[in-house]
Amino acid sequence: MDTELLIGIAQILTGIATLVVAIFLAGQLVLQRRSLAVAHQDAQRELAFSSRNTINSILLARLTSDGLASVVSKGFENMDNLTESSDRLRFTGYMRQCYQAFIMEWILGGEQIDKIEFKERMERMFVPLGGRQYYLQTGREIVKIRSQALTQMFDELYEIHQTSPIAG
């Protein structure tokens, strides 16, 4: 057999082998991408579940601690009722934790979050006067830093229950 023919056949076989390896590696990349997508989705679900657990823990603390329940009730009625600095600190700390948990849930939920259900839960923070006072004094800045869409939602809830627009 002619050496040129032999070299040509060897090059063709090498090309075919290279193509087979490239197809195999491309298939592996597709499988890896799918696995990463599933892992990412699982991680997001876990974070959302953890966020919801945090909210439940905050509410449970309020329900099981007479002192905290009393302070939160007084604060929700009107923040001016919190005459002692320790009570004001407990109320604002409670509210800050609620806001952080709800913001985390909003961010993690992304497009999958049920916006109607979320808004209904948020509205409970704006019905009492003290909830609106906290939003205006502190909460709005916490939300504004993280999400413009969430700030709009909270502003709407504030204005519905306060019956006046937010200045500025």
Classify residue 168: in a domain, yes or no: no
Residue 6: predicted pLDDT: 86
Whether residue 12 is contained in a domain is answered as: no
Residue 69: which domain range? 44-162
Averaged pLDDT in 10-residue chunks for the chain of 168 residues: 84 91 90 86 77 80 86 95 94 93 84 85 92 95 92 94 80
pLDDT of residue 12: 92
The count of domains in the chain is 1
Residue 151 lies in a domain: yes
**What is the reported pLDDT for 156?**
93
| Identity of residue 100 | Q
Residue 159 burial (CB < 10 Å; 0-12/13-18/19+)?
A: middle
The verdict on residue 51 lying in a domain is: yes
pLDDT for residue 168: 61
Helix-strand-coil percent breakdown of the chain, rounded to 5? 90, 0, 10
- Whether residue 10 is contained in a domain is answered as no
d(CA 93, CA 42): 31
pLDDT value of position 130: 95
Q: Is the residue at 80 inside a domain?
A: yes
Q: What's the pLDDT score for residue 42?
A: 80
